[in-house]
């Protein structure tokens, strides 16, 4: 997904790491007001956000706070230190609070602490600032000015110009921060991402504002874009100026464990997590074998998957997804599986060239926006691949069906319809990686179990293809970062154990190096499924009530939600 959930993700690490950026050190006056001076939790929380938004202007803009339009992070050492210090003070002050609070306020305080600890991990405990281009690409993304009609084209164009005028400084800071050589997968990601921005500025961005007839503004735009494009091109060349290394991406077991603890509240030992993931992989492989025995009798599993994937829409995935969305929404209503607040719909478009490291994702307006569309993006294959690999990358109709479930109905899009209406402002703003991706992935299997496809084996294979993809992400994250797995090993795992095509296997193995938290899809799914079964005691008639209550929390670490829903004293991860 693309909406800036806490730690990302969507899509992906680029989106989640948007939350980790810092602004000018001079803006950092107080993390939340001295803990001893505030009288209420609301005062403390509001003071925290008042200081947080200037330190994270890109995050603020994506939530709909357009007073921060055109602002960019300060990636200098001082700016990054300001962000880390702000988070440290916020954590200390929140823990030191000695005021009367309701249970809901105590929950929100713990939510704030977990958000701050998770973001602080990436700043203090990793070398992402010096090594990982994904730390920067999300915050550089100007799509909000292009794709969201939150104001007139003229005003959005002016905001884009302000943004573009700041890009050369940002690029210089990134260049100073990145220490070459980088891992080979980081080189490919960085050159494609930074270089893609340069193309996007002069191509899609220019076209988006073609209707603006102010010649002086167009000239200002061209001048700013020329300099911004040159800066991004130079940065891309710098990243690719030395051959990439085969290693250097692994967090190591201790940091990986700290990542999932600080960000997701999961303290399960890594070896036990790996065992849990292997069990889910075997469960889905067995289900695939059974479905293929009916759908493609006598074929190998790999050929069965190819048969499913060859059932493609003649007019390509974007058109097919547009047909799928109303069908999926109608199914939710017919089966009464979850409440659908509001009347919003999601659009479907081809993803822009600078953001195609995933096959699909959704960009969802933040809680401060009103009446704006969400956009479900689908990526075309990499034109540098051979024709066979490109063709295999285009998903089959049933595979795409469960991507549409994941991204829109009832996945990310519905999640954010609920979170944008959460009682807690933290529930609106900070939707965690495992919560968001776990929910979206959980809904794929839930929809199949609820009768989507009416038992059709091809539909089941489409669902299982998505489940296996996430199983291999889970095991690759653990393997790449704690077990000495190579990128080639991961790619082989995706192809041989999860039956992914060559292009997806390459893409996903590489992603695991710069997005170590992409195990959160399966990890979140398994925690949600266990919570559902414990809360409903196996009664499917209670699924809607469960889904509505789960989504009402917004998006905190799932162990916190479990403790609240199960009336448990201490949050804990249960699979």
Supply the DSSP string of 131-157, one letter for each residue.
H-THHHHHHH--HHHHH--SS-HHHHH
Q: In 3-state terms, what secondary structure has residue 526? A: helix
Residue 44 host element (H or E)? helix 41-55
CA–CA separation, 434 and 302 (whole Å): 30
The pLDDT tens digits for 501-529 are 898 899 999 999 999 999 999 999 999 99
Whole-Å CA distances, 98 to 95, 321, 436? 9, 52, 32
Question: Taking a C-beta distance cutoff of 8 angstroms, is the pair 54, 76 a contact?
Answer: no
Listed residue (3, 33, 69, 138) closest to 428, CA to CA: 3
CA–CA separation, 132 and 497 (whole Å): 28
CA–CA separation, 244 and 180 (whole Å): 8
Indicate if the pLDDT at residue 69 is higher than 90. yes
Q: Radius of gyration over alpha carbons of the chain, in Å? A: 23
pLDDT for the residue numbered 21: 32
Cα-to-chain-centroid distance, residue 508:
14
Question: Taking a C-beta distance cutoff of 8 angstroms, is the pair 24, 74 a contact?
Answer: yes
Q: In this structure, what token pair is assigned to residue 245?
A: 């290394």
What is residue 394's DSSP assignment?
Answer: S
Question: Taking a C-beta distance cutoff of 8 angstroms, is the pair 505, 491 a contact?
Answer: yes
Question: Can you tell me the mean pLDDT for 11-16?
Answer: 35
Q: Which residue has the higher pLDDT, 78 or 25?
A: 78
How many alpha carbons fall within 13 Å on the CB side of residue 71? Answer: 21
Question: Can you tell me the mean pLDDT for 9-20?
Answer: 35
The pLDDT tens digits for 91-108 are 999 999 999 999 999 999
Q: In this structure, what token pair is assigned to residue 556?
A: 């905190």
Domain regions of the chain by residue span? 13-239, 251-575
Confidence of residue 32 (pLDDT cuts 50, 70, 90): low
What is residue 377's DSSP assignment?
Answer: E
Q: In this structure, what token pair is assigned to residue 543?
A: 């699924």
The pLDDT tens digits for 439-491 are 999 999 999 999 999 999 999 999 999 999 999 999 999 999 999 999 999 99
Whole-number percent of the chain with pLDDT over 70: 93
> What order do you get walking across the sheet with 374-378 strand by strand?
346-350, 374-378, 360-363
Q: What is the torsion angle, in degrees rounded to the nearest 10, for the CA atoms of residue 162, residue 167, residue 169 and residue 174?
A: 150
């Amino acid at each position: 997904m693309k909406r800036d959930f806490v730690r990302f993700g969507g899509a992906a690490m680029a989106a989640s790491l948007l939350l980790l950026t810092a602004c000018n050190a001079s803006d950092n006056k107080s993390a939340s007001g001295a803990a001893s001076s505030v009288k209420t939790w609301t005062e403390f929380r509001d003071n925290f956000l008042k200081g947080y938004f200037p330190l994270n202007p890109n995050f603020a803009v994506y939530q709909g706070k357009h007073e921060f339009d055109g602002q960019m992070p300060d990636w200098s050492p001082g700016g990054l230190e300001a962000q880390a210090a702000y988070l440290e003070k916020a954590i200390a002050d929140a823990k030191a609070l000695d005021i009367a609070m309701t249970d809901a306020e105590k929950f929100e305080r713990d939510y704030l602490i977990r958000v701050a600890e998770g973001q602080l991990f990436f700043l203090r405990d990793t070398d992402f600032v010096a090594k990982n281009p994904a730390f920067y690409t999300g915050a550089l993304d100007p799509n909000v000015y292009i794709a969201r009609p939150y104001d007139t084209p003229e005003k959005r164009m002016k905001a884009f110009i302000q943004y573009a005028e700041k890009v050369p400084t940002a690029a210089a800071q990134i260049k100073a921060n990145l220490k070459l050589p980088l891992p080979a997968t980081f080189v490919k990601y960085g050159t494609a991402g930074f270089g893609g921005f340069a193309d996007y500025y002069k191509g899609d961005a220019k076209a988006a504002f073609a209707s603006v007839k102010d010649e002086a503004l167009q000239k200002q735009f061209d001048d700013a874009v020329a300099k911004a494009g040159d800066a991004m091109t130079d940065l891309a060349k710098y990243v690719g100026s030395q051959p990439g290394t085969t290693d250097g991406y692994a967090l190591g077991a201790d940091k990986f464990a700290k990542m999932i603890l600080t960000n997701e509240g999961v303290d399960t030992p890594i070896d036990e997590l790996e065992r849990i993931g292997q069990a889910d992989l075997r469960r889905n492989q067995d289900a695939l074998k059974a479905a293929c025995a009916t759908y493609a009798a006598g074929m190998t599993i790999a050929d069965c998957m190819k048969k499913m994937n060859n059932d493609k829409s003649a007019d390509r995935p974007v058109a097919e997804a547009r047909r799928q969305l109303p069908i999926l929404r109608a199914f939710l209503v017919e089966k009464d599986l979850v409440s659908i607040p509001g009347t919003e719909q999601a659009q479907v478009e081809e993803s822009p060239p600078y953001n195609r490291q995933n096959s699909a994702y959704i960009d969802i307006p933040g809680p401060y926006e009103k009446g704006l569309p969400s956009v479900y993006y689908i990526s075309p294959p990499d034109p540098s691949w051979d024709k066979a690999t490109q063709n295999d990358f285009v998903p089959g109709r049933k595979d795409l069906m469960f991507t549409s479930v994941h991204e829109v109905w009832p996945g990310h899009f519905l999640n954010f319809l609920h979170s944008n209406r959460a009682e807690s402002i933290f529930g609106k703003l900070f939707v965690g990686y495992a919560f968001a991706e776990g929910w979206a992935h959980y809904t794929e299997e839930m929809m199949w179990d609820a009768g989507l496809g009416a038992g059709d084996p091809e539909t089941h294979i489409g669902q299982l293809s998505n489940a296996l993809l996430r199983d291999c992400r889970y095991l690759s994250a653990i393997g790449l970062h704690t077990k000495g797995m190579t990128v080639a090993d991961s790619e082989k795992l995706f192809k041989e154990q999860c039956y992914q095509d060559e292009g997806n296997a390459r893409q996903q193995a590489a992603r695991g190096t710069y997005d170590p938290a992409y195990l959160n899809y399966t990890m979140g799914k398994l925690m949600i499924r266990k919570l559902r079964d414990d809360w409903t005691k196996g009664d499917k008639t209670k699924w809607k009530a469960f889904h509505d209550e789960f989504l009402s929390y917004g998006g905190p670490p799932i162990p916190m939600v479990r403790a609240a829903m199960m009336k448990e004293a201490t949050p804990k991860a249960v699979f």
